[in-house]
A and B are shown apart, each in its own frame.
Chain A
C-alpha cells in the first residue's frame, strides 16, 4: 500500500473513532443522528471521490452535451486506494452499531484501527462488521493447534480455488471469449460466460477462504462469505449465499431502513431495485456494473411476484421444481455476469446476442480441450454446491474419513506448488 493511502486509511479510521464517541456520548436522538450523518457523509464522500470522481465527471459532461453545452472536465489522475470499498464499510459498520446502541464506543484507537485494517480482510473482504471483530480484541487471542491447522487448510483450499481452478482451468476460456473482437458461435459464448461464472466464484470464494484461514491462524474468527451459491433456488436464496457480508450489510443498513418488505408491494419492489442498483455501483464506477445490479434487482422482483402468484402450485414445491428453479437461477445469474465482466455495452450486447443464436456465422475459438475443461470444472462445482447446499465445509470435513481429508489437503497443496500459477491478483482487489 502506498504511504498516502495508508495515511488516508488511518485518518478516516481515526475520524470514525472520534465520531463513534460523539454518537455514543450524545443523548438526544437527533444529535446522534447528526453525528451518524457526518460519519456516513465523510466515508461515502471519500469513496465517491476516489472511486467515482472521474465517472461522475464523465456522466456530467455527457448530460451537458445532451442540452447543448460543451464542457471538457479535467481528467483527475486519481489512483484508487486498494480496498477502499471494503474498509469504508468496515468503518461505517462501527458507527452504525453505536448509533443503534448495539455496541458502545471503543476506548482503544489501536484496536479500532486493527478492526478496520485487519490485513486478511482489508483488501478484498469479507466485510467484517465492528461488532463481530472488536469483541475479539478484548483478550489476546488464544491460539489452539486445531484452529491453526484448520486455518492453514482453509488457506490451502482458498489458494487451490484461486490458482488452480480459477486462474488455470477457467480464466483462459473466459478471457478468450470476452476478449474476442468479433462474433462467435453460441457454444463459445456460453462456455466463456459459464467459465467466468466459475472463475469469479473460485476467485472470490478462494480469497475469502484465505482471509478466514489467515485470521484463524492468528486467533481471530471471521464469518463465512459464501455458502454454495450456485445451488441457490431463486435469487433471494442466491444473495443469502453469495458475498454474504455485502448482501447482509446492504440488507441491514439500506434495505430494512428503506422499509424492506414491510411496505406496499410496489415500494418493496423499488426498495429491492434501489439496493441492487447501489450494490452494483459499489463494485465499480461503470454503467455495466449498474446494469448488473439492476438486472439482479429485477430478478428479485420477478421472483417475489412468482412466489406470491404461485406459492401453492405443486410444481414449485417438489424436488423437480426446485431443480428446474435452481437451473434457471444459475442461467439467469450467468446472463447477469455478462455485464459484470464485459468492458462495455458493445461487448455485452454482442455476447448476449451470440448466446441466444444471433451469430449464425460466428467463429469458433475455444479448443475442445478448453470446452471439456470448463464443462468438467463447472459441473463439479455445481454438483458440490448441491451436495453441500444445506451443510457447511466444516460439517463435510468432519464427516470425511481422516485419510481423505489428509489426501485432499496434500493434493491441493501439491497442485498449487506444481502449477506455479500466473501471479494474477484476486478479481475483487480492484473493487
Chain B
C-alpha cells in the first residue's frame, strides 16, 4: 500500500534540483541553473488569509474596547528612543530637567516656562539614576545651559550595575548610537500609541498577565520587587501626568501602588555570595565615587557658566519615613550640596512646598503638579540667581 506521504509528495511540489542546457535568455548568468522551488501547501490561501485578517481585526477591536473599559488609555511608551528624541533638542543654552520619576510627574513644563522664561526639555526618567545623564551633559562641551535635577538618594546614588543606573546609561548610550531605523520607528509609533489604548506599555503584555498568576514560590526565592502598574500618561514633550483613577483620594489603585513602593524603597539584603562587611565597604566606596563623579560633572558645567539646582520633591507619609531613615539627609543631601557647591531646594524646608499630598506616596497629581511648579519657580529663580 502506498503511504500517505508518497501521495502527498505527488500533490506537493517538492524541491527540484536539475541541470539543463541554458536557454539564450538564461545566458546572462551563464547557467546551468540550479532551480530550487519551495513547496506551497495546497490550501485555499486566499480565503484563509481573508478569514485570518477579519479575525485579527475583530479581536484587536474587542481587545481595544476591553482595555479602555478597564481604565487604560493611550499613552506614549517612555523608552530610550523617545528620550533620545528629546535629548536631541537640547541646545547649548537649554533648560533641562533630569532625574527620576518625581522630576517627570511633579514638574509642569508650562509653569516652569512661564516662571523661568525658557521652555524646559524634559529628560527625567522613571526609576532611573540621573548621574549618567548629568555626566553626559557635563561632557557635552557645547552645553552651558541650566539643569534642574531631581534628587532621590536611593536612585541618584544607585551603584553601577543596578537597574536605575542601567536605565540612565542605556538612554545615554542610545542617544549617542541611535540608528536612523530606531528614530524612524519611534516617529511611526507616536500616532499609533497616541490613539490605541492596548499599546499602553504597562500591565497589558502577556508577561504581565502571566506574572499575575497566583503561583506560590519556593521558600527563600529571591524575587525582585514588582514595578507599579499604569498610573500616568506621557505626551510628545514627555509631560507626564497622573491619571485621575490614581489621583482620587484613597483610590484602590493608589493604595495598590503604595504597597509596591514599600519593597522598592526598602534596602535589599546583602547578596549571599559576598560577605556582609565586604558588601557594605563596596557600597560606601561606590557612594564616595559617585559623589566625586557628581562634583566633577557639576564643576565642568559651572566652568562653562552653566547652572544646576538640585530639587528634593515631595513624598507621602508612608515613603517619607522610609526615605528619611535610610540613608538620612545628613549623609546624602547635605554632602551633595557641600561637595558640589550647588544650590538645592528641599521641599520640606519651605512650608509652601511641603503641604502637598502624594496620592500614591511618591508623586503629585496632575493638578497639584501645576500648583507645586508655580510655587517652586521663585525658589528656582533664587537658586539660579535670576
Point out residues on A near B: beta carbons under 8 Å: 24, 102-108, 111, 131-132, 134-139, 144-150, 152, 164, 168-169, 172, 181-183, 212, 216, 221-223, 361, 363-369, 372-373, 391-392, 394-395, 397-399, 402, 405-406, 409-410, 413-415, 417-420, 423
Contact assessment for A398 and B12 in the assembled complex, using a CB-CB cutoff below 8 Å: yes
Contact assessment for A420 and B204 in the assembled complex, using a CB-CB cutoff below 8 Å: yes
In chain B between 191 and 217, which residues have their CB closer than 8 angstroms to a CB of chain A? 198-199, 201, 204-207, 210-211, 213, 215-217
Contact assessment for A139 and B206 in the assembled complex, using a CB-CB cutoff below 8 Å: no
Contact assessment for A414 and B60 in the assembled complex, using a CB-CB cutoff below 8 Å: yes
Of all chain B residues, the one with the shortest Cβ separation from A390 is B5
Query: Closest 7 interchain pairs by CB?
Result: A104-B30, A135-B33, A182-B273, A149-B45, A410-B55, A398-B41, A397-B41
Contact assessment for A420 and B205 in the assembled complex, using a CB-CB cutoff below 8 Å: yes
Least CB distance, A123 to chain B, in whole angstroms = 11
Number of interface residues of B (CB under 8 A): 59
Q: Which residues of A contact B213 (CB under 8 A)?
A: 369
Assuming the A-B contacts A103-B30, A107-B29, A406-B48, are A363 and B222 also in contact, with contact meaning beta carbons closer than 8 angstroms in the complex? yes
Question: Interface centre among A212, A367, A405, by most B CB within 10 Å?
Answer: A367
Q: Which residues of A contact B51 (CB under 8 A)?
A: 406, 410
- Residue B250 at the A interface, CB < 8 A? no
Least CB distance, B234 to chain A, in whole angstroms = 16
Least CB distance, A255 to chain B, in whole angstroms = 21
Of all chain A residues, the one with the shortest Cβ separation from B198 is A418
Contact assessment for A364 and B218 in the assembled complex, using a CB-CB cutoff below 8 Å: yes
Q: Which residues of B contact A364 (CB under 8 A)?
A: 218, 220-222
Least CB distance, A357 to chain B, in whole angstroms = 17
Of all chain A residues, the one with the shortest Cβ separation from B201 is A420
Of all chain A residues, the one with the shortest Cβ separation from B37 is A221
- Residue B382 at the A interface, CB < 8 A? no
Q: Main SS of the interface on chain B?
A: loop
Least CB distance, B64 to chain A, in whole angstroms = 10
Contact assessment for A131 and B201 in the assembled complex, using a CB-CB cutoff below 8 Å: no
Q: Which residues of B contact A152 (CB under 8 A)?
A: 49
* CA gap between A417 and B271 in the complex, in Å: 39
Q: Main SS of the interface on chain A?
A: helix
Of all chain B residues, the one with the shortest Cβ separation from A410 is B55
Known: A135-B34, A394-B40. 6 other contacts (CB 8 A): A135-B26, A139-B25, A365-B223, A394-B39, A406-B52, A409-B52
Least CB distance, A360 to chain B, in whole angstroms = 12
Q: CB-CB contacts of B22-34 with A at 8 A, as 1s and 0s?
A: 0001111111111
- Residue B303 at the A interface, CB < 8 A? no
Of all chain A residues, the one with the shortest Cβ separation from B19 is A102
Q: Which residues of B contact A102 (CB under 8 A)?
A: 34
* CA gap between A37 and B67 in the complex, in Å: 62
Contact assessment for B207 and A150 in the assembled complex, using a CB-CB cutoff below 8 Å: no
Contact assessment for A394 and B29 in the assembled complex, using a CB-CB cutoff below 8 Å: no
- Residue B275 at the A interface, CB < 8 A? no
A–B complex contacts, Cβ < 8 Å, 23 sampled: A107-B27, A132-B34, A135-B26, A135-B31, A144-B40, A145-B46, A164-B206, A169-B206, A221-B36, A221-B37, A364-B220, A364-B222, A365-B221, A369-B211, A394-B12, A395-B8, A398-B42, A402-B44, A402-B48, A414-B63, A417-B60, A419-B207, A423-B79
- Residue B35 at the A interface, CB < 8 A? yes
Assuming the A-B contacts A107-B29, A367-B223, A409-B52, are A394 and B36 also in contact, with contact meaning beta carbons closer than 8 angstroms in the complex? no
Q: Which residues of A contact B204 (CB under 8 A)?
A: 418, 420
Of all chain B residues, the one with the shortest Cβ separation from A107 is B28
Least CB distance, A395 to chain B, in whole angstroms = 6
Contact assessment for B205 and A137 in the assembled complex, using a CB-CB cutoff below 8 Å: no
Q: Which residues of B contact A134 (CB under 8 A)?
A: 29, 33
Contact assessment for A108 and B29 in the assembled complex, using a CB-CB cutoff below 8 Å: yes
Contact of B221 among A146, A367, A402, A423 (CB under 8 A): A367
